[in-house]
Structures are given as C-alpha cells and as structure tokens.
C-alpha cells in the first residue's frame, strides 16, 4: 500500500531543484472495472458503455482512495462517481463505481446518482456529493432528477443523507458544478456552499438544520469583457459563466472563514465571510458584506481552487495550462501570485485541484475544451493526475510559507494520527490590508 506514493515522495525529497508536479496517473481513455470481462463487453456492445464519451472532471483524496467524477454529458457513462486505489500497480487504473454500481444508476432519483462534478471529503470522513440530476450538456441537457446533495460515510460506504435542493434554491438556468464544505467545531456543525454558475446564485446548506437558502449578488455575474478564451490554440466564448470556483480560508479566531470565489468569465476574485453565509436572515440584506478583490491579470480564467491549512490558495489557470498560487497572508494582487507549474501538453485544462491530509496538492487535467468543442485523440494521453508536496511546490515563490511554517510548527496538535494546525491563522487585516478596492 502507498508504495508508488512513497517512491515518488522519496524522489522528490532526494532532489534539490525546485519541485514541480509529478505525474501520478495517466489515461488515454477511461475504462471502468466491471464485475467480469463479459459484463464489460456486453456493456460496450449494447452502448451502455462508450469509453470515448467519458471525461473525468473532479477528484478528491481520502486515505488510499482517489475519487473521480465523470459527468453524464453524453451517452454511455456507466458510473458518475468512482474511485481508484492510490496504490494501483498501473498508471491507468480502471474506475470503480462508488459506493457501488446500483448507486450510480442514471435517472434513479432516490437511490442513484445521475451526474456529479466536484466532490469534497471532510475531516469527519464524509464525502459530500452534489448530484445535478442531469443528463447531457448545454442544449442537450435533460433533468430526470432534481439537484440533490448526497453525503456518504467513507468508513462504512453508506449514504447517510440525501437532501433535495428546494425549488426556491434554483432557477431555470441553474448549473452547479462546484461545492465547498465548511466544517465547524463538530461534525454536526457543517455547511456546504454550492455555486450556481448559470443561475448566478450561492446556495448554502446547513447539515445540522437540514435546510438550505440562496444568496443572490451582482458579484456572481460574469464580466462581459472576459468571455473570450483560447486554450490549446482553440478559441471559443464562454461569456455567460458566472460564480464558479470557490475556496475556504482557515478559520479565524471567531471560527468564521472567508469564502473566496470568482465567476468563470472574469479575472476577478471576490470574498464573503461564512458568518454572512451561515445566517439565512442575511439572504436579502448583505450586499455590502461581499467584497471585490483585485483582478489576477490577463488570461486568468479559473474554474477550481483550494486553500490549504496555512491559507495558501491554489487555482487552475485554464488559459495558461498552469496552476497558480496565492498566499493569503499577502494582499490579493498579481504581484503576490505565482505559477507553481505549467505544461503545454500535460496541463491542458487542469480541471480540479485538491489538497490531501498530508499537505500534498493533487491536480487532474482533462483537455475539457478540446473534448467539448473539438475532439480528443485517443492515441495519446488525455487525462493526467499530478501530485506534489505543497512545501516543495511553493518553495522560493511568493507563496512560500517557510517563516509561517516555523512559527506554526509549534502550534500543531495530533489527533487520531493526523496533524492539524491550530488556528487562528488569518487575521482580519490580511484580507483588508489594502487589497480591497475601496
């Protein structure tokens, strides 16, 4: 177990140059682990499995599992929520449906998952999964099922909750592909945030209250000047895409966090306190509690981001085939951003970024724009998973946390063999330190 992981780690440890992302998995085309070969052959013959239609978009790491989501944009996707063992002996493992095959049945609203995008595992060993209930994409979209949050207990692989979003939480344009999970002091004290990219809303779900509510704000809208994209020489326009990628800061002294977000058709970052979001009475009266930060600079559309326990944010830069970083101890400004890795072959459309409990960054790239607007060549590697220890990835960049590390190393506590940083880490001035526009 973990053997390839440790070998990689050793290689990284033993070289001294600036460390970049290391390739961990690679696939030309996605395959699934059927009970037998004849099940698989039969699925292909009957069109239930069309390998060329499968695009992996979201990842999450929990212990020795890497979860991988595959949306049902086209026909022949046998399972939308899957995992592969991290200690797989091969670099292109077949996807194993999670928690099982029946739970991945398209159109089975009560017991199945139709289409899943980003997923999030929390410190209480739960996997948060939003099922959009859809089949298809853009003008082919059908909605056999409602949007529903599914939460799985990762230790028992049982679904422990299903919550359908209320009719008031969505509208006819709703498209939700990103989720952030905010854990408070106890496992019960948990909230999920869903960004409605095309319906322009931010939906909050309280685990304890089993209730949801929806914020609207003009900061969720796309910037009309930022709808043009060129990725891997393909030029296209995604002008209507609003609030998309989100990340949560470490908790502050009062336990609240900052939710950072950005519309997709935008170069700008915004922030709101979770104190605001968790208060359902604020839905209609919190316009001034959302803050604009600076723009990132040219060619900086981003769909996915994550923040580690030290407050370092990583974000995909889809126009640059790159991953960027920002240390939130510094004002949000282009000069405080760095590119931690860039690869014009391997990092074409880095679709998701995640941090594991051992402070490694994971990235999946999937050539999504080529898949959607042109086609993939299945004779080449199309999908890649990369990984790197964060400290080594940001070493020597403006995102480096070395002084912080020294300071906070004394402030770690150990629980259940896991290390947790003791907070407070972020202070109010770190976001208000001149980086807001007013």
Ligand X SMILES: *[C@@H]1O[C@H](CO)[C@@H](O)[C@H](O)[C@H]1NC(C)=O
Q: How far is the CB of 302 from ligand X (least distance, A)?
A: 25
Kindly state the smallest distance separating residue 149's Cβ from ligand X, in Å: 10
Q: Least CB distance from residue 140 to ligand X, whole Å?
A: 6
Q: Whose Cβ is closer to ligand X: residue 163's or residue 386's?
A: 163
User: In Å, how far from its chain's centre is CA 206?
Assistant: 20
Summary count for the chain: helices (H), strands (E): 7, 28
Residue 95 has what DSSP assignment? B
- Euclidean distance between CA atoms 111 and 336, whole angstroms: 46
Q: Which is nearer to ligand X, 183 or 312 (CB)?
A: 183
CB of 73 or CB of 261, closer to ligand X = 73
User: Between residue 255 and residue 314, which ones bind ligand X under the rule CB under 6 A?
Assistant: none
Q: Shortest approach of ligand X to residue 203 CB, angstroms?
A: 14
- How many residues bind ligand X (CB under 6 A)? The answer is 4
β-pair type (22-27, 383-389): antiparallel
| C-alpha–C-alpha distance, residues 393 and 199, integer Å | 36
How far lies 404's CA from each of 72, 401, 424, 425, 428, in Å? 43, 5, 13, 9, 17
Q: How far is the CB of 201 from ligand X (least distance, A)?
A: 19
Distances (CA, A) of 145 to 10, 48, 93, 113: 46, 19, 30, 9
Choosing from 186, 210, 281, 416, the residue that interacts with ligand X (CB under 6 A) is 210
Which CB, 328 or 369, lies closer to ligand X? 369
Nearer to ligand X, 161 or 395 (CB): 161
Nearest approach in angstroms of CB 164 to ligand X is 6
**Least distance (Å) between residue 181 CB and ligand X:** 17
Q: Using the minimum distance from each CB to ligand X, give the nearer residue, 48 or 161.
A: 161
Residues numbered 115 to 174 that lie near ligand X (CB under 6 A) are 139, 161, 163
Q: Which residues contact 32 (CB under 8 A, 6 or more apart)?
A: 40, 49, 78, 79, 82, 94, 95, 96, 97
Q: Does 237 bind ligand X (CB under 6 A)?
A: no
- Identify the residue whose tokens are 């080449």: 380
Structure tokens at 146: 């409602």
Parallel/antiparallel/unpaired status of strands 305-307 and 290-295: unpaired
In contact, 167 and 215? CB cutoff 8 Å: no
Which of 187/436 has CB closer to ligand X?
187
Intra-chain end-to-end CA distance of the chain, in Å: 52
Which residues here bind ligand X, judged by CB under 6 A?
A: 139, 161, 163, 210
């Amino acid at each position: 177990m973990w053997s390839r992981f440790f070998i990689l780690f050793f290689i990284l440890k033993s070289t001294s140059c600036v460390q970049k992302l290391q390739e961990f998995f690679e696939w030309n085309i996605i395959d699934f682990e059927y009970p037998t070969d004849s099940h698989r052959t039969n699925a292909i013959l009957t069109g239930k499995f069309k390998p060329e239609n499968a695009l992996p978009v979201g990842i999450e790491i929990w212990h020795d599992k890497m979860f991988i989501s595959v949306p049902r944009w086209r026909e022949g996707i046998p399972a939308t929520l899957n995992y592969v063992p991290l200690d797989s002996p091969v670099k292109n493992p077949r996807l194993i449906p999670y928690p099982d095959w029946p739970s991945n049945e398209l159109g089975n609203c009560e017991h199945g998952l139709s289409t899943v995008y980003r997923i999030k595992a929390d410190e209480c060993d739960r996997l948060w999964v939003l099922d959009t209930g859809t089949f298809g994409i853009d003008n082919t979209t059908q909605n056999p099922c409602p949007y529903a949050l599914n939460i799985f207990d990762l230790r028992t692989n049982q679904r422990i909750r299903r919550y359908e979003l209320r009719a008031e939480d969505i509208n006819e344009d709703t498209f939700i592909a990103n989720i952030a999970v905010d854990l408070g002091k106890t496992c019960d004290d948990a909230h999920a945030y869903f960004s409605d990219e095309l319906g322009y809303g931010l939906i909050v779900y309280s685990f304890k209250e089993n209730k949801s509510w929806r914020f609207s704000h003009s900061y969720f809208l796309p910037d009309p000047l930022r709808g043009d994209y060129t990725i891997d020489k393909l030029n296209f326009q995604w002008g209507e895409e609003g609030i998309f990628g989100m990340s949560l800061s470490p908790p502050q002294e009062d336990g609240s966090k900052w939710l950072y977000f950005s519309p997709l058709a935008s170069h700008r970052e915004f922030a709101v306190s979770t104190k605001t979001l968790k208060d359902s009475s604020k839905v209609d009266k919190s316009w001034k509690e959302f803050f604009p930060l600076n723009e990132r600079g040219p060619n900086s559309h981003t769909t996915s981001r994550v923040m580690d326990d030290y407050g370092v944010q990583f974000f995909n830069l889809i126009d640059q085939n790159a991953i960027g970083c920002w240390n939130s101890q510094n004002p949000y400004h282009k000069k405080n951003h760095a590119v931690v890795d860039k690869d014009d072959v391997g990092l074409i459309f880095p679709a998701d970024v995640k941090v594991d409990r051992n402070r490694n960054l994971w990235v999946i790239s999937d050539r999504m724009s080529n898949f959607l607007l042109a086609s993939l060549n299945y004779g080449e590697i199309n999908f890649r998973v990369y990984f790197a220890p964060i400290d080594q990835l940001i070493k020597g960049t403006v995102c480096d946390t070395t002084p912080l590390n020294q300071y906070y190393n004394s402030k770690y506590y150990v629980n259940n063999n896991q290390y947790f940083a003791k907070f407070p880490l972020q202070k109010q001035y770190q976001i208000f330190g001149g980086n807001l526009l007013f």
